[in-house]
Structure 1
Amino acid sequence: MADQQSPDVTAAVAERRPRYLAEIAAGVERFFEPRRADCPWCGSDRLSVRLRTTDLLQHKPGRFILEQCGECAHIFQNPRLNGDGLEFYYRDIYDGLGEAKMNSMFEASARGYRSRAEMISPHHTPVCWLDVGMGHGHFCREAKEVHPDTVFDGLDISAGVELAQERGWVRKAYRGDFVDRSVDLAGEYDVISMFHYLEHTADPRAEVAAAAAALPPGGYLLIELPDPECRWNRLVGRYWMPWLQPQHLNMIPLRNLRRAAIDSGLTPVAEQRSEAHESSDLVAALYLLLASKFSDDDRPWHEAPPSAARKRLCTVVWLLAVPALLVAMLIDKAVAPIGRDRGMSNAYRFLATKPG
């Protein structure tokens, strides 16, 4: 169900519509690389389709396939979006038209941000911390409460980095690709974090290797990722929110990330599963299901704004769905204390250090 749009948003949608419709008319199949026949993680050709889905968050056109490797269990988008495809599907999700909604989602995760920051406390007192894939900088703001003497900087490809710097949540904001910038940043940060970042990247192992090279001896790398071994993704199928197609290019099992860190010269220090869990799998799945059928958002990739009749129908459906959403939320909360230690944690954290 859409919020009441402001005149500025309505105007922005109308302004963007011709470009989106022209791109769609040219065919979205051009946004994909050729399908690969081997696993990008281990090279095995034992591949099978794990998921077929659509864009359930923005509802842009296109169909997406996730395949899983029979050797290492790595899950990856295949065929994968190319550069033009990434630009098309990322546009207006984290900034632009989607900035306000994403900012609200980031604001709701303050407790999780502090839990991430606390993971390093038993092992190290951070001095200078770089958050890679920082989004709008909400983690850095909350982590400063946990580590008040630490300097926080951030890096991202989106315009959110400038917003974070304007708000004073980071000292420095770097905009660009981490692997490209990592050589210039080498030795400057004793902690580098990547929270829900690697799954968005084309080559996660190169990102880990770049972080390991940039850390000084005794530095720490802290990572959080959606857990593809979570049983919730079997229970709710394509409506499991962490699939997040088409933005998530890779879903990395913990053992694979651990191996990549070791291969990059890092020593594993700690791992967390239950602490990283967000109790929202069922309610988020129900939301995505309803939104895929009964959305009245005016989006520029649709040919026209929703009709008055469509808006009335969606309003009625969402009002009727409120009790079901509340029940789903209660089930998530009730299952979490038991399920997250029994293979139902939807995320994991990994901490490693560079010997020195």
Structure 2
Amino acid sequence: MPSRPRPIHDPRRDDCPWCGSKRLRTRLRSPDLRHRRPGTFVVDECRDCAHAFQNPRLTPEGLTLYDGPRDRRHSPRHLRATARAMLPFPEPESWLDVGTGDAHFPSAAKALFAYTAFDGVDVTPRVQRARAAGRLDEAHLGPLTAPDVLSRLRGRYDVVSMLHHLEHTREPREELTAALTALRPGGHLLLELPDPASASATVLGKWWHPHDQPRHLHLIPLANLLPELESRGCEIVVTDRRTPHTPHDLSTAASLYLNRTRLHRAAGPVTVVAALLDHALAPALRRTRFSNAYRVIARKAE
């Protein structure tokens, strides 16, 4: 008998995967706006801790159907600004970038940290191509949480960066555990995530790019991430809701919306105007609740 196809969704859960509360509400329903693959996806939100999560969640098999190459959508200028956040600390000997893809971030960071060895880990072969292109010193293929990968990287790094990575993962707490395992005592964990508390998320709804269904499985509020890191013995040394803001909310929403309507021919010019508006408003939005991302730097206990 032919084997049954594996399900692409886990069973729907009735409690929050972060705090366990059963007080859930539906935050949004959305099709795959980016690649237009079939299906409608639900993001629930916990009324107690505000953690937002895909429910039901895609299985690993489902993720292979929907999760294409991850585009961090950041300019070289933004990547350099992210790397610059580590300048106040001692120059690291070794740095691991998790979910590095084509290693554009390590490539940008090398301009500021010339004596640092940059390694990358990614679930796609792009990490190996990045090593061949000279953007990485070492390339590790597979998830950081895999025992064979983590055993090789345990305690090797002064800095581990996870930039717009946790929202793609099925178990973000396991990812944090793996990142701290790869760090040396006293090393720094550099995190950037979309901010689910952003006012843009409320205004734009499913058209807000960081909702990005079905690829984003978790949207973690800053108020949840900080105590999670502290409970693991980390010292929070930086929190920043201004610098990580990326000016693309209006342009991405315009493109996603217009390309699904009869006005798709106008998508190009309207998106250009929206992009100009994104950049013009960015200095002001960074200082308001419309900022769309946050950064955390945490020091692992000695």
Q: Same fold (TM over 0.5)?
A: yes
> What is the letter of the counterpart of residue 81 of structure 2?
S
1:51 aligned onto 2:19: no
Identity of aligned residues (%): 42
2:259 aligned counterpart, secondary structure: helix
User: Among 38, 42, 54, which residue is 1:65 paired with?
Assistant: 42
CA drift of 1:292 comes to: 2.7
1:17 alignment partner in structure 2: none
2:282 alignment partner in structure 1: 336
Determine if contact 2:255/2:268 at 8 Å carries over to the other structure.
no
Could you give the per-residue CA deviations for residues 86-141 of structure 1, whole angstroms, max 9, x where no partner exists? 11112xx218xxxxxx5xx75x6211111111111112311100000101111011
1:120 aligned onto 2:86: yes
1:350 aligned onto 2:291: no
Structure-1 separation of matches of 2:277 and 2:54: 31
Could you give the per-residue CA deviations for residues 275-300 of structure 1, whole angstroms, max 9, x where no partner exists? 00111101110001122336xxxxxx
CA drift of 1:183 comes to: 3.3
Determine if contact 2:198/2:292 at 8 Å carries over to the other structure.
yes
CA drift of 1:330 comes to: 2.7
1:195 aligned onto 2:163: yes
1:177 aligned counterpart, secondary structure: coil
1:232 aligned onto 2:196: no
**Which aligned pairs between 1:84-95 and structure 2 lie closer than 5 A?**
84-90=61-67, 93-94=68-69
Structure-1 separation of matches of 2:142 and 2:98: 10
User: Among 101, 107, 111, which residue is 1:141 paired with?
Assistant: 107
> What is the letter of the counterpart of residue 94 of structure 1?
P
1:212 alignment partner in structure 2: 180
CA drift of 1:184 comes to: 2.7
Could you give the per-residue CA deviations for residues 167-191 of structure 1, whole angstroms, max 9, x where no partner exists? 1100111011111222331121111
**Which aligned pairs between 1:254-333 and structure 2 lie closer than 5 A?**
254-293=222-261, 317-318=264-265, 320-333=266-279
1:355 aligned counterpart, secondary structure: coil
Could you give the per-residue CA deviations for residues 288-345 of structure 1, whole angstroms, max 9, x where no partner exists? 1122336xxxxxxxxxxxxxxxxxxx8xx42x34442233223212322212211111
Which stretches in structure 2 are left out of the alignment for 5+ residues? none
> What is the letter of the counterpart of residue 141 of structure 1?
S
Where is the helix percentage greater, Structure 1 or Structure 2? 1
TM-score by length of 1: 0.80
Which structure has more relative contact order (CA 8 Å, sep 6+)? It is: 1
2:193 aligned counterpart, secondary structure: strand
TM-score by length of 2: 0.93
Structure-2 separation of matches of 1:350 and 1:183: 26
2:157 aligned counterpart, secondary structure: coil
CA RMSD of aligned residues (A): 1.8
Determine if contact 1:212/1:266 at 8 Å carries over to the other structure.
no
Structure-1 separation of matches of 2:7 and 2:185: 44
2:243 aligned counterpart, secondary structure: helix
Q: Which runs of 4+ in 1 moved over 4 A?
A: none
Determine if contact 1:227/1:251 at 8 Å carries over to the other structure.
yes
Structure-2 separation of matches of 1:171 and 1:271: 29
Structure-2 separation of matches of 1:184 and 1:71: 39
User: Among 205, 210, 232, which residue is 1:242 paired with?
Assistant: 210
CA drift of 1:151 comes to: 0.5
CA drift of 1:211 comes to: 1.6
Where is the strand percentage greater, Structure 1 or Structure 2? 2
Structure-2 separation of matches of 1:325 and 1:190: 41
1:10 alignment partner in structure 2: none
Structure-1 separation of matches of 2:288 and 2:256: 25
Aligned residues: 297
Determine if contact 2:259/2:267 at 8 Å carries over to the other structure.
no
Could you give the per-residue CA deviations for residues 56-104 of structure 1, whole angstroms, max 9, x where no partner exists? 11111111000000111000000000121011112xx218xxxxxx5xx
CA drift of 1:202 comes to: 1.1
Structure-2 separation of matches of 1:323 and 1:201: 35
CA drift of 1:192 comes to: 0.5
Structure-1 separation of matches of 2:150 and 2:86: 22
Over alpha carbons, which structure has the higher Rg?
1
